[in-house]
């Protein structure tokens, strides 16, 4: 988990820096050191709820030349870094054939990388997918968009609770189904291109 979160958050920080905002770099977040990215509550929740998060990467919207577009680029950097990590692991497993213990660890990182990629693409704040909408928001609607982002965590929690209740009552989970089929399709795709 620490590897996947560190890669994800470091990618956000690096892209923010490349787009002109030094905030994350000055905070030491352009780093693969897990200690710079782990959130205390998010890490604790991994053990309690099997669901956690890293410390959000800070960036200053005002330092970006094209705030909505650049925010979207910063957002997509995290999930894409997880997809690239999964691709590299697929290549290693397929062509290097590491010892079984190492392959097991790599397989766990591979699986979690794909799950983080898929989950973070959901277009509800604070997930990265919500910021991808910035590519499509006209300047006249930026205030509405910022309000939408501020309300997202509340709706995400409601959706997760509703999904859990639906799963318990009917045995169907939207998130579980989305992650399962997404995982299978990405795995097939990655192994076809490697």
Going from N- to C-terminal start, the domains of the chain cover 2-193
Distances (CA, A) of 15 to 46, 68, 132: 27, 14, 14
Q: What are phi and psi of 54, to 5 degrees?
A: -95, 170
* Mean pLDDT (the chain, rounded): 90
Q: 6-15, 128-137, 154-163, 173-182: which has the minimum mean pLDDT?
A: 128-137
Q: DSSP assignment, residue 73?
A: H
- Report for 15-19, 49-53, 129-133, 136-140: range of highest mean pLDDT: 15-19
Is 184 a known active-site residue? no
Structure tokens at 56: 């959000």
Reported as a single tens digit per residue, the pLDDT across 50-70 is 667 788 899 898 999 988 789
The overall pTM is greater than 0.85: yes
| CA–CA separation, 145 and 168 (whole Å) | 34
The average pLDDT across 101-129 equals 94
Contact of 81 with 89, CB cutoff 8 Å: no
What is the predicted pLDDT for the residue at 68?
Answer: 78
- Angle of the 67-95 helix axis to the 142-170 helix axis, nearest 10: 40
What is the predicted pLDDT for the residue at 64?
Answer: 93
Radius of gyration of the chain (CA): 18
Question: By 3-state DSSP, what share of the chain in percent is helix, strand and coil, each rounded to 5?
Answer: 75, 0, 25
| CA–CA separation, 8 and 81 (whole Å) | 6
The average pLDDT across 26-45 equals 88
Q: What are phi and psi of 38, to 5 degrees?
A: -75, 135
| CA–CA separation, 144 and 163 (whole Å) | 27
Q: Of residues 9, 103, 142, 184, which has the active-site annotation?
A: 9
What is the predicted pLDDT for the residue at 156?
Answer: 86
């Amino acid at each position: 988990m620490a590897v996947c979160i560190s890669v994800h958050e470091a990618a956000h920080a690096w892209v923010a820096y490349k787009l002109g905002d030094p905030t994350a770099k000055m905070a030491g977040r352009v780093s693969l050191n897990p200690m710079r990215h782990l959130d205390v509550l998010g890490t604790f929740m991994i053990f309690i709820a099997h669901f956690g998060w890293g410390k959000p990467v800070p960036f200053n919207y005002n330092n970006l030349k094209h705030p909505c577009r650049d925010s979207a680029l910063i957002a997509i950097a995290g999930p894409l870094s997880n997809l690239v990590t999964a691709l590299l692991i697929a290549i290693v497993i397929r062509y290097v054939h590491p010892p079984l213990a190492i392959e097991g660890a790599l397989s766990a990182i591979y699986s979690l990388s794909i799950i983080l990629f898929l989950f973070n693409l959901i277009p509800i704040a604070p997930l990265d997918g919500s910021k991808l909408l910035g590519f499509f928001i006209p300047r006249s609607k930026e205030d509405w968009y910022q309000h939408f982002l501020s309300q997202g965590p509340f709706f995400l929690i409601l959706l997760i609770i509703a999904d859990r209740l639906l799963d318990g009552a009917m045995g169907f989970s939207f998130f579980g189904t989305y992650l399962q089929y997404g995982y299978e399709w990405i795995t097939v795709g990655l192994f076809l291109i490697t």
